[in-house]
Amino acid sequence: MVLTQPPRDAAPTRPSWLKVAHMRDLIHVMVERGRKKAVAVAVAFDWPGWNRSGKSEDEALRVLAAYRPRYAKVAELAGLADEFRAAGDLAVVERLEGTGMTDFYGLSARSMASEQEPMSDAACERKIALLRASWIYFDDVASRVSAELRKGPRGGGRDRDKIVRHANGAEIHEFAKKVGVNTPLDARDRPDDLRAHRDAFCAAIRDYNARAASARTWTVQYVIRHSAYHMLDHAWEMDDRDLSGGT
């Protein structure tokens, strides 16, 4: 079930919505809408990486809900399986207009209001655990899928090794730099160096959050959730395009 807040210009149809939507057991969702195109991204921002898009808000929310069992595996890897199982329905608590990235790539590119503030130490560690879980999940998928992946309807799409290099490379070259981590790009090719990079990335996130520092043009919370999203999106892509017949 999805509980949605009526748009600001709509007549009130659910007088008790605010009371319901702020219950602690609901999964709070931000919806980011395209500026020029019919696209929306639903973001379960308390669960970094659980983002899905669609041609409308309703479609994005349906896809987000459909991915709940897949994200449950990430929550389990983070040691948060019980919390995730106990979570209730999706509840839209904020809507934002997106950017060109939303229009053209179906990505969430903005931080919501609550992400503008620093997290408590415990909340920061919880989100870091989910980021680390996204890495574990991604690495596991990459280790078991076929090297050649099923092509898209137009014959396109990267194969496994190119996806792995792209996902790790984007994190090193772009995302981690937002919190001052400057890892050589070729670290993505060496497992020990990649692990060291990830440790440094997590340490920098803690430091920036503790100092309430901005992550250049991003917020620290957006750094976490976008990094996790990018890993999981490509992990799920590899799973869906796997030719090995594994599960």
Domain boundaries, the chain: 2-110, 114-241
Mean pLDDT of all residues in 78-96? 97
User: What is the four-CA torsion angle of 40, 131, 88, 7, rounded to 10 degrees?
Assistant: -30
Does residue 19 register a pLDDT over 80? no
| pLDDT per position as a tens digit, 32-54 | 999 999 999 999 999 999 999 99
Q: What pLDDT is attached to residue 245?
A: 81
* Domains 2-110 and 114-241 alike in fold: no
| pLDDT per position as a tens digit, 143-181 | 999 999 999 877 789 999 999 999 999 999 999 999 999
Using CB atoms within 10 Å of the CB of residue 204, give its burial: 0 to 12 exposed, 13 to 18 middle, 19+ buried. Answer: buried
What CATH number labels 114-241? 1.20.120
* pLDDT confidence band for 25 (50 / 70 / 90): confident
Does residue 10 register a pLDDT over 90? no
* pLDDT confidence band for 244 (50 / 70 / 90): very high
What are residue 120's phi and psi, to 5 degrees?
-65, 160
| pLDDT per position as a tens digit, 72-85 | 999 999 999 999 99
Nearest alpha carbon to residue 53 among 106, 98, 1: 106
- How far is C-alpha 65 from the chain's CA centre? 14
| pLDDT per position as a tens digit, 217-233 | 999 999 999 999 999 99
Nearest alpha carbon to residue 2 among 84, 75, 56, 58: 58
Q: What pLDDT is attached to residue 2?
A: 62
* pLDDT confidence band for 20 (50 / 70 / 90): very low
Domain covering 2-110, topology: Double Stranded RNA Binding Domain (3.30.160)
Q: What pLDDT is attached to residue 83?
A: 97
Nearest alpha carbon to residue 138 among 235, 228, 47, 240: 235
Q: Whole-number mean pLDDT of the chain?
A: 91
Nearest alpha carbon to residue 127 among 29, 224, 27: 224
